Amino acid sequence: MEIKYKNSSGVLIVYLSGELDEYAAGISRTVFDKLLDDNLNAKKVVFDISGLSFMDSTGIGMLIGRYKKLKNFGIPVFIAGASNGVEKVIELSGLYHIMPKY
C-alpha cells in the first residue's frame, strides 16, 4: 500500500494505491493519523482510491475511523476514483452514505 497526498487550496487529497486489506490497514493507520493531524486546517478531505486494486472490510473500517476523526473537526470527507471491484465493496458497505463520491 502506498499513500501520497497533496494539499491545495484547503483540499487535502490523499492518494491510495495497492491493496487496502487487514495487513495494509494496520500499517497505514498510523500514517493516516499523522497526515490528518498535520492537516486539520483542510476544508475537505478527498480519498482518491483510483490506485487501489483491492479493498476489504478492514479497509472500509479504517476509512470510517478516519471519517469519524475528521467529523469531530467539522471536515467533510469524500471518496473519488473507485474501480469497479472496489466500488462494489463500498456500495455494499454503505460507505457512500457518509463519504459521498467526489
**Model confidence, pTM:** 0.94
102 within some domain? no
Domain coverage including residue 70:
2-97
60 within some domain? yes
pLDDT in tens, 30-88: 898 999 999 999 999 999 999 999 999 999 999 999 999 999 999 999 999 999 999 99
Q: 19, exposed or middle or buried, with CB in 10 Å at 0-12, 13-18, 19+?
A: middle
Please give the full DSSP string across 67-98, using - where no structure is assigned.
HHHHHTTT--EEEE---HHHHHHHHHHTGGGT
Residue 43's φ and ψ, nearest 5 degrees, are -80, -30
Looking at the structure of the chain, the number of domains it has is 1
87 within some domain? yes
pLDDT in tens, 2-12: 999 999 999 99
CATH assignment of the domain containing 20: 3.30.750.24
